[in-house]
Amino acid sequence: MNDTMLAAKSADAVNADPVHVDMRGVTQRYRTGRRGDLLALDRVDLQARRGEFVSIVGPSGCGKSTLLYIVAGLLEASEGEVLVDGKKIDGPDPDRGLVLQNSSIFPWRTVEENVAFGPQMAGVAAGKRRALTKHYLEMVGLEKFATFYPRELSGGMKQRIAIAQMLACGPSVFLMDEPFGALDSLSREVLQDQLLQLWERDRKTVLFVTHSIDEAVLLSDRVVVMSPLPGRVKEIVPIDLPRPREDARASQAFGQLRNHIWAAIRQETMEAIG
């Protein structure tokens, strides 16, 4: 299948960027025994264009993380498929980098060994690996902590290491599962700004799962609102705020978008936490 056909298929045909990540009818069922199956995801169709920042928001249990793990190739969908650059995915691949909510960086490796993990697996020579590690540590501003163990670092630092670890694999798609969800609000804003700068420079495709509507509006080109039980795409909200966005938090348009999305998920959230 060629790129023009895929682009025509996407929700917003005006944008000419080719579809990069294409989720087609992704369905996930869990066996729960006597009560029958739980439908975690119900025929989710979603596309992310190359270089697009797409956030997925929704109440707990809407399957947004499950969807991300399916795109990562870590879970297999019960039905449907995921295509990246038109090719059906088959398991995880360093081209699709993953950052999880709580540092899944390895506590038995120092900061630099953590960042070097991907290149080491790929068999990159030690000298080149060191240069790569240094580069990405500088990018996240943690070169001074190269020889530290993760336990000696704060939560925000650990997440920056996780991002550097992902970057060192050179992925074209970033999959981020509530990467700042466990941080205090100050660290969270700092890391949001850093991620924005990083993204605006390289323009990688990002799928970003978050609980925070503010975060989704601030970072994204489009916000996907999901509803729970079964997990479905409820609405896709284009975010047309001008970039760079660091100062957008206080603007009126930001507030309007935020309220719009909140209204869309309010009902389900009330029911979910009911």
CB of 12 to other proteins, least distance (A): 28
Minimum CB distance to other proteins smaller for 57 or for 217: 57
State the helix-helix crossing angle for 155-167 and 185-202, rounded to 10 degrees.
Answer: 20
Q: Which residues bind other proteins (CB under 8 A)?
A: 40, 60-61, 63-66, 69, 72-74, 91-94, 96-98, 100-102, 104-109, 117-118, 120-122, 141-142, 144-145, 147-152, 154-157, 159-160, 162, 165-166, 169, 175, 177-178, 181-184, 186-188, 190-191
Residue 18: CB minimum distance to other proteins, A: 23
What is the separation of C-alpha 172 from the centre of its chain, rounded to a whole number of angstroms?
12
By beta-carbon proximity to other proteins, the closer residue of 10 and 65 is 65
Smaller CB distance to other proteins: residue 132 or 257? 132
Instruction: Count CB atoms within 10 A of the CB of residue 171.
Output: 18
Q: Shortest distance, CB of residue 163 to other proteins, whole angstroms?
A: 12
8 Å CB contact between 41 and 52:
no
Q: Which helix (H) or strand (E) holds 39?
A: strand 37-49
CB of 104 to other proteins, least distance (A): 4
CB atoms within 10 A of CB 259: 12
Q: Which is nearer to other proteins, 124 or 241 (CB)?
A: 124
Residue with tokens 């950052």: 99
CB 158 within 8 Å of CB 104? no
Shortest Cβ 70–other proteins spacing (Å): 11
Which burial class, exposed, middle or buried, applies to 88 when counting CB atoms under 10 A from its CB (0-12, 13-18, 19+)? exposed
User: 6 or 23, CB closer to other proteins?
Assistant: 23
How far apart are CB 144 and other proteins at their closest, in Å? 5
Residue 88 neighbours by CB under 8 Å, 6+ apart: 81, 82
Q: Which two tokens stand for residue 133?
A: 């590690």
CB closer to other proteins, 141 vs 255: 141
